[in-house]
């Protein structure tokens, strides 16, 4: 065997030698197989795991570059990515040294798991898991509102509960944010049923014992139910039973589960206020913000405040303050005054469901307390709040000083919040002062707004991920002054960072750029601090810098807002008016100039564009959804949220432009007016009475910024150009490029601008693009009536409930006792007034239940010690007690009370309480009146469900 093996080796060597010599003359004609690199991939979307399938040919070695800084030499690797877009490159080679490269772009989008629901539960939120857990036979699903009307007339999603007929069947939600009953103990919901039925709500999984309460539904479709708890614990499970111990089968619907304070309401923000930027602790004095460490605040609702009070709540997991039915309020730091001398700006975020003016007033006590020898000073900032969105108020201390605040604000003691001319509910957050001059490491956390898609011929981009950029010589020319420029990413978006910038030049001198076909310049700028910023567009005239032809420059000056992206969008015409040549065919420089200070800025989306092409620039998000309102309070011409009236035309015969069409934006119906000069929307066939409306609203989007006029026209009841004059009131608004602008104007302002005082024949709405032709998207065109201000507690005697008055409260609310002003149910006898106060002493209420009013100042000691009140009772022979107190008194002031017997039933009777028979001295200071109907401190019988009415509390 050994001999055979040796022979085989010799034979093999001989064959190899022959092969080598035989190929010598034919090497050039021998072509090695070509290497072809290639791969496909399978992506597991839920995890971001990618399995690569290698389909390369004639290769033995592989080098993978996964696009995130990692590599592999495996044949078919498996890689797990995070969200993003990656370019994967495979280089394949063989042993002869031949190579080929193949690359492909993959997009990883791992879906975010749906969030657990939290109050309010509307069934309309994005990526929220509204699927309730069921038990004992019940079924649940989310459906479209099957019968809008009653307390829920909005076409939206609702929850559907189907009972099988078993006892104690129901549903529950495990909440992402616990319900905190420490301040707000009332939960409301819209509930639909066709027959009268009881609904039980139980709160579980809490810091204390489970608590439950039921409410009765009248069977009339959508009704608002209220569940008033007495617990002060927190609970993370919301459970409900329809006809709990009963066996009623059928389908019921629920919506708008919300936690409300005693003030009522219902319009609440669903998104948190914008998060403030990170700052050094020494550069911030925060009164209230999750982002910073707050100083000690004495009170957020000082004693002189007017409104329903302030409560702490959460919006999208962020702590906020809710001021319900606010007229004005004081936030005080008197115990430890605050030195603002090192701060440069004041900031706060405010949200309201309705638009009105709002004043923030910063007060300094001068170092010696309120009304001391040194003058108290105050500087105000007045802002128009936008309905249904957060408004960021950011004002310099210098501006507040110009408005009246002392030049040396070393004793800040009060912040005044003032709702102008109305009473309104507001949510506030991020109340703080800051020093913007320190500069440094603050950076944006969200990318600049993505530009709209445009045809390549309509854009000249210097820097943007959205478009193809031209060649730029430098982003920091030699004459620039500052800390330089660097490339960074913000939320995955390429961005230029200019640190400690004074000024900088971006140059395209090597290949000058012709802007003659462009209409606008755009750039986005972010800074952690607010200052003025100049963008200057320079043309070298075709012969280089300082050549025979003049160099020209047009500037746009903008005030940058701290901690947010500012979009600068200016027409070439405006830049030409500012000095740029009329023939900008040699654009060579863009100057970035921070005015008067040194500042750090992030810039993105630097480009010129042509907006005259019309068509393709479109909004990607729908217009803001209007708040829910009663049908009687809205006249809608066009909106998905409300029921529209009949409109004759949205483009009357006299209109000028490219016409109007119906489109959808993010699933929302919208009107698109292309190349618009002006258009008329008409309701002539059936004129519209606006006399009960208080405001007009329209949302407008355009890809470019220009002025826009809305004109409301009334034909005077006799048609166009009739004997009665036609009248028109205009509102002029500057539209912001690339975003929705909400125009909301009062009818009173339109009347001041020319509209008739008796708006009973609205017939036209004029849409007018000022000076140019522009393409606009419009939505939510409607008139509405602002909700009437809720009644406020009486401030002085007499109390007659005729001037939107009420009492401060009732007790015991936990038993279900209620009180409210209503129309006089028995306007006869000694009391024919229009409004009285109803007190419902419900079944099993505490025997001592009653009503009270706390006056803002002491009862007049010189007006007499006799008090009278008119009372209507369903029962005769009851005892009524009146009591005079000092609210919060823990000292020597004595409480006095007197009893009187009501002798009649079902009619008005006046009772007299003469305190002259007691040692009462009103000069000691009494500010509270308490009335106890059917007061029996001997038998102490529980309430029997009787309803009492009172009116005309007078002092003699």
In 3-state terms, what secondary structure has residue 631? helix
Q: Distance (Å, rounded) from C-alpha 648 to C-alpha 764? A: 10
Q: Distance (Å, rounded) from C-alpha 518 to C-alpha 906? A: 81
Beta strands in 261-388 (DSSP E): 284-288, 310-315, 318-326, 328-332, 345-352, 357-364, 377-384
Length of the chain, in residues? 956
User: Which alpha helices (H) appear in 558-604, and where do they start and end?
Assistant: 572-577
List the one residue out of 926, 909, 908 whose CA is nearest residue 864.
926
For residue 343, which phi and psi values (nearest 5 degrees)? -95, 150
Q: Which tens digit of pLDDT belongs to each residue from 618-641?
A: 888 899 989 888 899 999 999 999
List the one residue out of 742, 824, 737 whose CA is nearest residue 778.
742
The confidence score (pLDDT) of residue 861 equals 92
Beta strands in 804-844 (DSSP E): 805-806, 809-811, 818-823, 835-840
List the one residue out of 170, 158, 176, 174 whose CA is nearest residue 197.
170
Q: Distance (Å, rounded) from C-alpha 630 to C-alpha 150? A: 9
The confidence score (pLDDT) of residue 463 equals 97
Long-range contacts of 95-98 (CB under 8 A, 24+ apart): 95/60, 95/61, 96/32, 98/32, 98/34, 98/35, 98/58
3-state secondary structure string, 349-383? EEEECCCCEEEEEEEECCCCCCCCCCCCEEEEEEE
List the one residue out of 176, 180, 47 whose CA is nearest residue 115.
176
The confidence score (pLDDT) of residue 267 equals 62
Cα 903–chain centre separation:
56
Paired tokens of 546 = 């300082």
Q: Distance (Å, rounded) from C-alpha 133 to C-alpha 169? A: 11
The confidence score (pLDDT) of residue 5 equals 30
Q: Distance (Å, rounded) from C-alpha 54 to C-alpha 169? A: 56
The confidence score (pLDDT) of residue 353 equals 83
Residue that has been written with the tokens 């009268």 in this structure: 196
Paired tokens of 599 = 């500042």
Buried b (16+ CB within 10 A) or exposed e, 541-569: beeeeeeeeebbebbbebebebbbbbbbb
Low-confidence ranges of the chain (pLDDT < 50): 1-30, 261-266, 438-441, 613-616
The confidence score (pLDDT) of residue 662 equals 92
Residues with Cβ within 8 Å of 819's Cβ and at least 6 positions away in sequence, in order, are: 806, 807, 809, 810, 837, 838, 839, 840, 851
The confidence score (pLDDT) of residue 890 equals 53
Contact between 953 and 798 under an 8 Å Cβ cutoff? The reply is: yes
Q: Distance (Å, rounded) from C-alpha 633 to C-alpha 742? A: 19
> Whole-model pTM?
0.33
DSSP symbol at 469: B
Q: Distance (Å, rounded) from C-alpha 456 to C-alpha 609? A: 9
Contact between 897 and 830 under an 8 Å Cβ cutoff? The reply is: no
Q: Distance (Å, rounded) from C-alpha 452 to C-alpha 318? A: 31
Q: Distance (Å, rounded) from C-alpha 472 to C-alpha 637? A: 49
The confidence score (pLDDT) of residue 439 equals 38
The confidence score (pLDDT) of residue 638 equals 97
Q: Distance (Å, rounded) from C-alpha 191 to C-alpha 226? A: 10
The confidence score (pLDDT) of residue 266 equals 40
**Beta-sheet strand order (sheet of 211-217):** 133-135, 170-180, 234-242, 197-206, 211-217
Beta bridge partners of 190: 224, 255
Q: Distance (Å, rounded) from C-alpha 188 to C-alpha 831? A: 35
């Amino acid at each position: 065997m050994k001999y055979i093996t040796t022979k085989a080796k010799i034979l093999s060597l001989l064959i190899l030698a022959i092969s080598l010599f035989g190929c010598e003359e034919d090497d050039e004609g021998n072509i090695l197989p070509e290497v072809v690199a290639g791969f496909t991939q399978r992506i597991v979307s839920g995890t971001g795991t990618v399995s690569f399938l290698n389909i390369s040919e004639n290769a033995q070695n592989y080098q993978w570059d996964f696009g995130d800084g990692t590599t592999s030499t495996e044949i078919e690797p498996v890689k797990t990515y995070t969200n993003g877009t990656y370019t994967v490159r495979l280089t394949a080679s063989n042993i002869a040294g031949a190579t080929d490269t193949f690359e492909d772009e993959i997009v990883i989008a791992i879906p975010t798991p749906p969030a657990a629901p939290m109050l309010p539960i509307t069934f309309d939120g994005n990526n929220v898991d509204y699927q309730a857990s069921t038990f004992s036979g019940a079924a649940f699903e989310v459906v479209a509102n099957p019968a809008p009307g009653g307390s829920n007339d909005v076409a939206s999603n609702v929850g559907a509960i189907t009972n099988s007929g078993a006892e104690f069947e129901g549903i529950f939600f495990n909440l992402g944010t616990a319900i905190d009953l420490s301040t707000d103990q009332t939960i409301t919901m819209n509930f639909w049923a066709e027959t009268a039925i009881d609904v039980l709500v139980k709160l579980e999984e809490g810091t204390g014992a489970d608590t439950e309460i039921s409410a009765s539904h009248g069977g009339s479709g959508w009704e608002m139910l209220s569940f008033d708890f007495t617990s002060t614990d927190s609970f993370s499970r919301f459970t409900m039973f329809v006809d709990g111990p009963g066996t009623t089968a059928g389908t019921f619907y629920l919506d708008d589960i919300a936690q409300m304070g005693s003030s009522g309401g219902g319009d609440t923000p669903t998104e948190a206020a914008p998060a403030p930027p990170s700052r050094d602790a020494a550069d911030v004095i925060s009164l209230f913000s999750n982002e910073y460490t707050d100083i000690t605040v004495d009170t957020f609702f000082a004693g002189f405040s007017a409104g329903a009070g302030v409560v702490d709540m959460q919006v999208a997991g962020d702590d906020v303050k809710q001021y319900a039915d606010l007229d004005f309020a004081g936030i005080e730091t008197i115990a430890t005054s605050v030195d603002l001398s090192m701060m440069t700006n004041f900031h706060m975020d405010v949200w309201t469901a309705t638009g009105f003016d709002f004043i923030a007033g910063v007060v300094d006590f001068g170092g010696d307390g309120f009304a001391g020898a040194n003058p108290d000073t105050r500087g105000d900032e007045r802002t128009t709040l936008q309905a249904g969105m957060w408004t960021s108020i950011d004002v310099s201390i210098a501006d507040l000083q110009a408005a009246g605040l002392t030049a040396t604000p070393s004793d800040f003691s009060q912040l005044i919040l003032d709702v102008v001319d109305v009473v309104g509910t507001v949510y506030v957050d991020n109340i703080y002062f800051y020093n913007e001059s320190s500069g440094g490491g603050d950076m944006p956390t969200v990318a600049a707004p993505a530009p709209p898609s445009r045809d390549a011929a309509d854009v000249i981009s210097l820097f943007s991920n959205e478009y193809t950029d031209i060649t730029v010589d430098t982003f920091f020319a030699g004459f620039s002054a500052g800390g330089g420029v660097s490339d960074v990413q913000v939320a995955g978006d390429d961005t230029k960072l200019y640190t400690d910038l004074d000024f900088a030049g971006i140059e395209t001198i090597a290949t000058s750029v012709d802007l003659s076909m462009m209409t606008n310049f755009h750039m986005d700028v972010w800074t952690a601090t607010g200052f003025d910023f100049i963008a200057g567009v320079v043309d070298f005239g075709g012969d280089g810098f300082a050549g025979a032809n003049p160099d020209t420059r047009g500037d746009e000056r903008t005030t940058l807002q701290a901690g947010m992206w500012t979009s600068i969008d200016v027409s070439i015409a405006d830049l030409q008016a500012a000095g740029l040549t009329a023939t900008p065919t040699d654009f060579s420089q863009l100057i970035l100039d921070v005015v008067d200070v040194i500042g750090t800025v992030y810039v993105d989306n630097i480009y010129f564009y042509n907006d005259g092409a019309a068509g393709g620039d479109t909004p990607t998000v729908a217009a803001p959804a209007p708040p829910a309102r009663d049908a009687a309070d809205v006249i809608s011409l066009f909106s998905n949220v409300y029921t529209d009236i009949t409109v004759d035309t949205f483009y009357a015969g006299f209109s000028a432009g490219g016409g109007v069409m119906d489109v959808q934006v993010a699933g929302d119906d919208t009107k698109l007016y292309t190349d618009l000069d002006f258009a008329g929307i008409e309701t002539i066939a059936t004129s519209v009475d606006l006399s009960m409306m208080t405001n007009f609203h329209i949302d407008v989007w355009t890809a470019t910024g220009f002025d826009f006029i809305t004109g409301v026209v009334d034909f005077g009841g006799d048609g166009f150009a009739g004997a009665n004059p036609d009248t028109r009131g205009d509102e002029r608004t500057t539209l912001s490029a690339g975003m929705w602008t909400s125009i909301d104007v009062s009818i009173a302002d339109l009347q001041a601008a020319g509209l008739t005082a008796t708006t009973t024949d609205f017939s036209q709405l004029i849409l007018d693009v000022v000076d140019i032709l522009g393409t606009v998207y419009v939505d939510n065109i409607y008139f509405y009536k602002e909700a009437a201000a809720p009644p406020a507690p009486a401030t002085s005697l007499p109390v007659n409930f005729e001037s939107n008055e009420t009492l401060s409260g009732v007790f015991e609310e936990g038993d279900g006792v209620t009180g409210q002003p209503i129309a006089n149910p028995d306007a006869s006898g000694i009391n024919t007034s229009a409004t009285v106060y109803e007190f419902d002493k419900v079944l099993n209420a505490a025997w001592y239940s009653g009503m009270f009013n706390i006056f803002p100042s002491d009862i007049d000691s010189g007006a007499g010690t006799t008090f009278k009140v008119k009372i209507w009772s369903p029962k005769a022979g009851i005892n009524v007690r009146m009591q005079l107190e000092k609210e919060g008194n823990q000292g020597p002031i004595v409480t006095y009370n007197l009893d009187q017997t009501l002798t009649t039933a079902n009619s008005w009777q006046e009772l007299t309480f003469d305190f002259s028979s007691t040692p009462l001295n009103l000069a000691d200071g009494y500010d509270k009146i308490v009335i106890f109907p059917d007061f029996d401190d001997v038998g102490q019988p529980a309430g029997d469900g009787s309803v009492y009415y009172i009116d005309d509390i007078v002092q003699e």
